[in-house]
Amino acid sequence: MSSMANNKTTITAVPEHTVEIITNSGEGAQKCAQIFGQTCAKMGNGVWTVEIIPAEIEPPHHTVTSTSGNIVRFGTDKVTNWGDQSKLAVAFNDQVLLSRHRLDSFDDNCIILQESMWENHEDEAVRDGYAKAMEEMSSKNYRFINVPIEEETLKVVDNAQHGKNMFALGLLAEIYQRDLSIIEKQIAHIFRHKSAKVTEVNVELVKNGMAWARDNLDFQFQIDSIPAEESRVVMNGNQACALGAVAAGMEICAMYPITPATSVSHELSDIFETYGGMVHQAEDEIAAAGVALGASYGGKVALTVTSGPGMALKTEFLALAIMVEIPLVVLDVQRGGPSTGLPTKVEQSDLLSSLYGQPGDAPRVVIAPRTIEECFHSMVTARRIAETFRCVVIILTDANLATGVQQFTYPEFDSRWQGDPIDSSAVPEGLRPYDWDPETGMSRRIIPGTPGGQHTVTGLAHDENSRISYEPESNERACKMRSRKLAVFQTTLMPPPVYGDEDGDLLVVGWGSTQGAIEEAVERARAEGKSISSCQLAFLSPLEPGLKEIFSRFKKVMTVEINYSDTVGDPYITEETRRYGQLAWLLRAHTLIDIDCWTSCPGQPLRPKDIYNSIVKNFETGASK
């Protein structure tokens, strides 16, 4: 491809780049980036993408709140997070561009390809807005390049709003020397439900974008790729969860629409029935949990999918599932909260409510996938745990994993993941519905239809016969048995690995989706000779074994989390009033170690540079002690 570039073109080789496409909502930024990201992945680059989406469908155009976009970070090596700042951006107007500038999204020397039509627009207000935006952005050293995106697009289609994104894709394809044949295949796939003409037009737009870049730009970037040895797939976390549910042999997903979890059910709705499964869209979040529980009571493998506000509504049903010991898998794709909060944005704020959000003692398993690959496998794991221990398993992903796209090794499916049929042989005389093994709390699950097993499960306190029992001793025993199962399950876990040295000055502890960003930050600090390691937890209830021992090998331990915590030194905030990050709170109680935290809830994934700054600051204050 590079040979086709004009002879003034400088080709710069870089190990990685971060690219942003920024548009009004509804102008196709996601499709453009999706195809670009897929193409990079197919060419053998490491990839991570992040969606920038408003909560509204199509807010007023050409404003700072209408921004819809997507960030693609790709490189020669594996990419585990969205990185720090974008090196190149394509923007459809000055206002959406400005919104990203204000979020400090761009590298100081970012190259910005922007729509040229606004500068001399006939509407004075538009020209003014443009001038003010440019003035505000002049604080940075951005390189602006005007591109007649709309004008060029209109040469091919009548409505530029449905086409500019493909022209932009062409610009990127040329700048990064992407393989056009891969792009063509991706376009054909995305528009497979539409006419061949649609694919044709979109490909033409991409070609025009490439040609424009070839004729008008004087630079290209070269990012080498190392072809993977094993077969890999690329998808986002919600797709991985949906396919994981299928691979785990789940049979019913009961849900109610909620951002950012809903697309799991879109994936499932598309394919589930051909696997003998179904999606039930319930009348509300509560009913979704109830239908899943009812189906599981009947012996089906059931899942309910939601986000924070939905978790709050499901609370009572989760407690019931725990009380009656019916397996249930709950996927909570966390978003910003409390209340409606930040529907499309990431946060890790449902940890404690997932652990303790029920009245009474309601022990359950909580796991947090750290990568998109783990999103897939966590569904298989969750099912196995839920059935083995007749318990509730909550999977906490978040908006970062849900919409982030990354490659992972093609999973080797195992038909055993689908589980064995439930034992529905006649219940032997004397076997009770909760015949708890006094050591483990485990008991045989008896489902309706099983001869001789008739009993009524109840959310009331009950004894081994599932008879309502208010006896003090009976209630103590039942609580003990339900809790014991977690301790038994914990014996199957391994201590978490430490990233970096096994001991040192500072250990950074994270959970779930922040793994890539934390490790990248730790790597930077370690490259400077700082004695910092990290540890990323995937099991939150029960916690993985050996934490206290691992922590004790470091002078200081701190968590890094995407949630809120107070900062000592702020008005009224002292060591006594300070509220900690949720994992810090949990680990402090668990280990009795004075664990510090740095948390942030900006509604976007943490950047390695911000984590780096916080841990280095903590490291330095720690060292001075």
Partner 1 sequence: MSSLAISLLDLEPDNAVCLEADDYQTRPGKWCAGCGDFGALNAVKRLLAKEQLQPEKMAFVSGIGCSSRFPHYVNAYGFHGIHGRALPIATGLKLARPELDVFVVMGDGDCTSIGAGHWIHATRYNANMTVLLLDNNIYGLTKNQTSPTTPLGYASNTSPRGSVLPALDPLQTTLGVSNASFVAQTADWVPAHLYATLQAAYAHNGFSFIRILQRCPKFTPDVFADQVKNPDMTELLVHPDGVDAPGLDKLFKARREHDPKDLDEARALAQRTDMLRLGLFFCDGSFPVYDEVRAVSPVSPEEKVEKLNQEFNRYVV
Q: Is 275 in the site for partner 1 (CB under 8 A)?
A: yes
- Cβ–Cβ under 8 Å, residues 250 and 404: no
User: Is 232 an interacting residue with respect to partner 1 (CB under 8 A)?
Assistant: yes
Name residue, tokens 């630079």.
219
Distance CA 186, CA 595 (A): 48
Range in contact with partner 1 (rule: CB under 8 A) among 5-13, 272-280, 388-396, 517-525: 272-280
Report, in Å, the least distance between residue 343 CB and partner 1.
22
Distance in Å, CB of 40 to partner 1, minimum = 9
Candidate list 26, 59, 459, 545; residue touching partner 1; CB under 8 A = 459
The reply to whether 253 sits near partner 1 by the rule CB under 8 A is: no
Measured in whole angstroms, how far is the alpha carbon of residue 239 from the centre of its chain? 11
Q: Residues 256, 288: contact at Cβ < 8 Å?
A: yes
Near partner 1 by CB under 8 A: residue from 457, 486, 493, 616: 457
Query: Token digits for 139?
Result: 């604080």
Only segment of 283-291, 363-371, 473-481, 528-536 that touches partner 1 (CB under 8 A) = 283-291
CB neighbours of residue 14 within 10 Å? 13
* Residue 166: strand pairing partners: none
> Using CA atoms, how far apart are residues 470 and 609, in angstroms rounded to an integer?
56
Tokens standing for residue 404: 């982030």
Burial tier of 611 (Cβ tally within 10 Å: 0-12, 13-18, 19+):
buried
Judged by CB under 8 A, the residue of 2, 222, 409, 454 near partner 1 is: 454
Applying CB under 8 A, does 264 fall inside the site for partner 1?
A: no
Measured from the CB of residue 68, what is the shortest distance to partner 1 in angstroms?
A: 24
Q: Which stretch binds partner 1 (CB under 8 A): 83-91, 148-156, 230-238, 537-545?
A: 230-238
Scan for tokens 């408003």, then name that residue: 54
CA 472 to chain centre: 44
CA pair distance 258, 263, nearest whole angstrom: 9
Distance CA(493)–CA(441), nearest Å, equals 18
Closest distance of CB 391 from partner 1, Å = 18
Does 293 interact with partner 1 (rule: CB under 8 A)? yes
Q: How far apart are CA 288 and CA 253, in angstroms?
A: 8
Among 124, 139, 276, 625, binds partner 1 (CB under 8 A): 276
Of these, 404, 453, 500, 542, which contacts partner 1 (CB under 8 A)?
453
Residue 429: Cβ within 10 Å count: 6
Q: Which helix (H) or strand (E) holds 202?
A: helix 196-216
**Which of these ranges, 62-70, 274-282, 353-361, 617-625, lies near partner 1 under the rule CB under 8 A?**
274-282
Question: In the bound complex, what is the minimum distance in angstroms from residue 94's beta carbon to partner 1?
Answer: 35
Distance CA 89, CA 81 (A): 18
Distance between CA 284 and CA 482 in Å, rounded?
A: 28
| Other beta carbons within 10 Å of 600 | 19
- The verdict on 449 binding partner 1 (CB under 8 A) reads yes
- Joined together, the tokens standing for residue 294 give 């009812």
Q: How far is the CB of 454 from partner 1 (least distance, A)?
A: 5
Distance, CA of 396 to CA of 398 (rounded, Å)? 7
Q: Cα(465)–Cα(476) distance, rounded to whole angstroms?
A: 15
Per rule CB under 8 A, is residue 196 in the interface with partner 1?
A: no
For position 243 contacting partner 1 by CB under 8 A, the verdict is yes
582 contributes a contact to partner 1 by CB under 8 A: no
Query: Binding to partner 1 (CB under 8 A): which residues in 159-188?
Result: none
Is residue 235 close enough to count as binding partner 1 by CB under 8 A? yes
Q: What part of residues 300-339 is at the interface with partner 1 (CB under 8 A)?
A: 300, 302, 316-317, 320, 324
Smallest gap from Cβ 339 to partner 1, in A, equals 20
The distance of closest approach from Cβ of residue 375 to partner 1 in the complex, given in angstroms and rounded to an integer, is 13
Nearest distance, CB of residue 327 and partner 1, angstroms: 13
Interface segment toward partner 1; rule CB under 8 A; list 26-34, 52-60, 199-207, 235-243:
235-243
13 phi/psi in degrees, rounded to 5: -85, 130
- Is residue 415 near partner 1 by the rule CB under 8 A? yes
The interface region with partner 1, picked from 95-103, 153-161, 292-300, 342-350 by CB under 8 A, is 292-300
Of the ranges 23-31, 104-112, 404-412, 492-500, which one interacts with partner 1 (CB under 8 A)?
Answer: 404-412
HSE at residue 205, side-chain half, CA atoms within 13 A, is: 29
- Interaction pattern, residues 18-47, with partner 1; x per rule: CB under 8 A: --------------------x--xx-x---
Binding segment for partner 1 (CB under 8 A), chosen from 246-254, 334-342, 381-389, 522-530, is 246-254
For the chain, first and last CA: distance in Å?
Answer: 57
CB nearer partner 1, residue 215 or residue 273: 273
| Token representation of residue 174 | 């040329």
User: According to DSSP H, which parts of 27-75 are helical?
Assistant: 29-42
Name the DSSP class of 360. S
CB of 153 within 8 A of CB of 160?
yes
Residue 289 sits in the site that holds partner 1 (CB under 8 A): yes
Half-sphere exposure of 504 (CA within 13 A, CB side): 21
- The answer to the question of residue 414 lying near partner 1 (CB under 8 A) is yes
Is 460 one of the binding residues for partner 1 (CB under 8 A)? yes
Taking the complex as a whole, the smallest distance from the CB of residue 425 to partner 1 amounts, in Å, to 12
Tell me if 299 contacts partner 1 by CB under 8 A: yes
Q: Tell me which residue has tokens 């003014």.
A: 128
Q: Total binding residues for partner 1 by CB under 8 A?
A: 73
Choices 110-118, 451-459, 530-538, 556-564; region in contact with partner 1 by CB under 8 A: 451-459
Confirm or reject binding of residue 226 to partner 1 (CB under 8 A): no
Site membership for partner 1, residue 127 (CB under 8 A)? no
> Is residue 443 a contact residue for partner 1 (CB under 8 A)?
no
Token digits for 343?
């529907």
Residues 6+ apart with CB under 8 A from 84: 18, 107, 607, 608, 609
| Interaction of residue 363 with partner 1, rule CB under 8 A | no
Q: Residue 286 interacts with partner 1 (CB under 8 A)?
A: yes
Alpha-carbon distance of 320 to 174, in angstroms, equals 57
The verdict on 458 binding partner 1 (CB under 8 A) reads yes
